[in-house]
């Protein structure tokens, strides 16, 4: 396994409220995950989002999709979106993989311990399916754009009571 590419990440004391172009890790999230289980789902989601974003290039996922891939990784494994601005990518991934990947099932299966073997045993097939999904969207950007537009129309109807 190659070493963690620390130069690929931004770092800070507190989590960022939004996902940017550079994967971001926070000291506060790291401390929460270093504590005994159960682990904070939001801290786990943000951390997994950063790692997913960082490895997306090695998986040949389009750079424009890298933040969304990371966000979906965090959401599907921890059960909460890594940020409010990630809801679209989380919803699209969850609906495309349903019922194979129930958001948060990995963390629930490990009784909240993200460092335990049951968590990663559950996570592996979800992450593989997610990578395949994003590779498909990399190959068909217009299909992905159509899904995004449909999600936004549905969200607009939902918000406006239509």
- The Cα–Cα gap between 141 and 86 comes to 18
Q: Rounded to two decimals, what is the model's pTM?
A: 0.91
- The Cα–Cα gap between 3 and 18 comes to 26
Phi and psi (nearest 5°) for 24? -125, 130
pLDDT digits (tens, 9 = 90+) for 54-94: 999 999 999 999 999 999 999 999 999 999 999 999 999 99
- When computed from its CA atoms, the radius of gyration of the chain, rounded to whole angstroms, is 15
Q: Can you give the pLDDT at residue 92?
A: 95
Q: Is the pLDDT of residue 11 over 60?
A: yes
- The Cα–Cα gap between 2 and 55 comes to 11
Q: Can you give the pLDDT at residue 38?
A: 93
The answer to whether the beta carbons of residues 25 and 38 sit under 8 Å apart is no
Q: Is the pLDDT of residue 158 over 80?
A: no
Q: Which residue has the higher pLDDT, 159 or 71?
A: 71
pLDDT digits (tens, 9 = 90+) for 123-156: 999 999 999 999 999 999 999 999 999 998 988 7
Residue 38 neighbours by CB distance under 10 Å: 14
Domain limits, the chain = 6-159
DSSP class of residue 2 equals P
Q: 132 CB contacts (<8 Å, ≥6 apart)?
A: none
The answer to whether the beta carbons of residues 72 and 56 sit under 8 Å apart is no
The answer to whether the beta carbons of residues 61 and 134 sit under 8 Å apart is yes
């Amino acid at each position: 396994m190659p070493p963690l590419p620390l130069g690929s990440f931004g770092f800070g004391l507190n989590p960022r409220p939004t996902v940017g172009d550079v994967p971001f890790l926070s000291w506060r999230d790291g401390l929460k995950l270093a504590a005994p289980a159960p682990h904070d789902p939001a801290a786990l989601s943000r951390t997994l989002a950063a790692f997913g974003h960082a490895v997306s290039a090695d998986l040949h996922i389009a750079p424009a999709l890298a933040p969304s891939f990371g966000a979906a990784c965090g959401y599907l494994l921890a059960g909460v979106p890594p940020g409010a601005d990630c809801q679209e990518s989380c919803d699209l991934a969850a609906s495309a993989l349903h019922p194979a990947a129930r958001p948060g099932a990995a963390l629930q299966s490990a009784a909240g311990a993200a460092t335990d073997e049951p968590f990663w045993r559950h996570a592996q097939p979800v992450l593989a399916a997610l990578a395949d999904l994003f590779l498909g969207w990399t190959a068909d950007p217009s299909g992905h754009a159509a899904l995004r537009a449909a999600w936004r129309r549905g969200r607009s109807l939902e918000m406006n009571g239509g």
